[in-house]
A and B are shown apart, each in its own frame.
Chain A
């Protein structure tokens, strides 16, 4: 996370932009995004025939482009978009376009502190990962599943290493895919490579792989586990000891394995999206204890409360003592913390956010076409036309709400800091 201690945490509301007026300034205004510190709001705008730019806090960038898309603020409050300039694609960050140019760029990612920006890129039918304007030295026939290390200095992707023609099914089954880390290829090929994860020291990569049409396992730095499974899901590195864990399917049921060995005694109809507590001592995962019932299991023990439709977006509190997720039952969403669902039901709920002191949990929700922030089960503010995820102050005593109030021409983007002291 970016250090937020130097942000404006004075209690009060600040209007940042008269966003409703932007429509009068441009041919069109696309959906806005807000910076994490709440001080900036921006949107892609159309400035002329086949001419696009970015409007930030009411002022357009000087440069215009053939196209701008995927505009997002980084964790350190920089504004990045994918831009096409005279038919060449690159990334523009705070108005400055990267020097490297491609035939296409996509899948932008930020490092945890925002200092690293990565994208996938294609040039002359070769595919690359790009880190802060520097492409891999070597390109490949195809890349997918780009992953970025937490420090933003490394990228990895599933790559095609062996060319084959459509219809060459037996060649495909010999293994034509591998992993490239910063452009350097693992020694071994696989039938398939999917989701991958970096270790917390950024030095190692683990990936889901298929070693035959029927055998799935996890490969770490190119070396597959000795054990194979009926299927696997995305692996993770332990922040505590660097071991690798992954959901694995054994005998038609799912459980959790570490370095190839089953570590949870229970098995489930489904188990995925496992997460570590910040100290690495606890593990939680979304599980289906039985068909059609969804909840969270912490260290092998599922919550008693289950949801019929889904459970998703699990997150540990910083102290590792609580887990929150979103759940959906009969088309209504809510937040569930340590197995206790909030009473407030909504049409959509976003991933919950814990305060740094772990005392509070808040989430953005939508109800009847309006948005608000719910904290500890209670609505914090009135409705917004748009709102972004809440941000807690470093001491956990304040919360920053970023939202758009008013409709149409009267729409105003504001940031407001509320005190959580009673």
Chain B
């Protein structure tokens, strides 16, 4: 990795949502919205964070954007300085152009990964501050086009990919039929009441990665799980509204998700390998609705695989021989502490595991998370060049023998795919489920 990745373009990136979004803004509107959000929707938490920060800059080295670009404006404190501090200092009297830049910073230059919180002597949660900025920008109608479109999809279809109700069910039936070629009596039970497990996925699975549903069905079948998938909206656990600052829609999506499981009287929700969706249903969306914890217990795929292997419900026919390394997704590692379970599963399934450094809760973000990849092509180069830190990590793991990169998160997959390609790393990228499916004993536990 001799060449420094400092090609980030300094010219303004055109984005329909940002550029057109500020056209109708007035200084009065901006001032009113900023002060309304700050006064009505924030409180002691924001005040403590703002008053406590001593501008020491220790957060800088935590941020992959800063580490990659070495420009102070990409440090976490620098991002707050360019956005929220200015809004506070000027009591909301900022220009439309300022709002445009604030939205771009908050939505495309911060992954809300919370790594900086661990490096801050006071534990200031910069991700929260960036979410406040996103909320203000949402209220002003200045959000990047691609992620705003995804939020619209959520609102109209309750999934992030404009998948229509019939297309969803049809995809499940299609995957069931495909899987029956391999395991003739395999089922994907739709709308089955009283199942132990309600399996939920994110919008891109039926749209682009339907094989993951197939694989999950094979795993459920082999483990003898009493499970179901819903035939109604509420099947998508993902949530870009959480990241655009549309908290009301975030709540509406999570209500639909949990009530789908409650309608079917499922005992728990098992979700696929997604990080941000976990954050939404385990932390943010449920709490916006006043549930302190998820009303129906939520089990992330890593925990589920761990449980299946520990209990002997899944068995490996042969271990995956290619040396692997593991990316720790922020939302389920810093957000939930699933890193040791992930390693247990990797070691159960793989012959050779090469640790990435730093790892576990100190791992660098993929730079796709927090909705950044969902802001689309306009910001792709900045996102990828802003994560040379990750490329260095991956190159180091590759130099020590890793050939396959496991990323148990959808957005991480998207981001890491771009990084692997951009930096010519030549690593094969897989979900944990891909490898488990490839190596497991199949068709053992079917019960009709």
Contact = CB atoms under 8 A, between A and B. Distances in A.
Interface of A: 23, 27-31, 67, 69-70, 103-104, 106-107, 120, 122, 127, 142, 144, 160, 166-170, 172-173, 177, 191-192, 194, 210, 213-214, 216, 230-231, 249, 251-252, 269-270, 272, 288, 291-292, 294, 308-310, 312, 328, 331, 347-348, 350, 366
Interface of B: 16-17, 20, 40-41, 138-139, 141, 145-146, 148-149, 152-153, 155-158, 162, 164-166, 169-170, 173, 185, 187, 189-194, 231-233, 246, 248, 251-252, 255, 262, 265, 267, 287, 289-293, 295, 297, 448
Contacts of B291: 292, 309-310
B311 to A, nearest CB: 16
In the complex, which of the residues B149, B190, B232, B251 has the most CB atoms of chain A within 10 Å of its own CB atom?
Answer: B149
A152 B187 CA distance: 32
A172 B297 CA distance: 35
Contacts of B290: 269-270, 288, 291-292, 294
Contact of A309 (B17, B232, B293): B293
In the complex, which of the residues B153, B156, B289 has the most CB atoms of chain A within 10 Å of its own CB atom?
Answer: B156
A331 B156 contact: no
B292 A120 contact: no
B17 A70 contact: no
Contact of B190 (A69, A231, A291, A328): A69
Contacts of A30: 187, 189, 448
Given A29-B448, A170-B20, A291-B292, A104 B166 contact: yes
A158 to B, nearest CB: 8
Given A144-B157, A169-B17, A348 B265 contact: yes
A413 B155 CA distance: 43
In the complex, which of the residues A107, A127, A269 has the most CB atoms of chain B within 10 Å of its own CB atom?
Answer: A107
Nearest to A164: B152
Nearest to A347: B267
A104 B194 contact: no
List 5 A-B pairs, minimum CB-CB distance, nearest first.
Answer: A292-B292, A28-B448, A310-B295, A269-B290, A270-B290
B258 to A, nearest CB: 9
A330 B193 CA distance: 22
Given A28-B448, A106-B165, A292-B291, A312 B262 contact: yes
Contacts of A348: 194, 265, 267
Contacts of A350: 265
A178 B17 CA distance: 24
Contact of A144 (B233, B246, B297): B233
Given A167-B146, A251-B40, A269-B290, A172 B139 contact: no
22 contacts: A27-B185, A28-B185, A30-B448, A31-B193, A69-B190, A70-B190, A107-B165, A120-B166, A166-B153, A166-B162, A167-B145, A167-B146, A168-B149, A169-B16, A169-B149, A172-B149, A172-B152, A216-B248, A231-B252, A249-B248, A291-B290, A328-B295
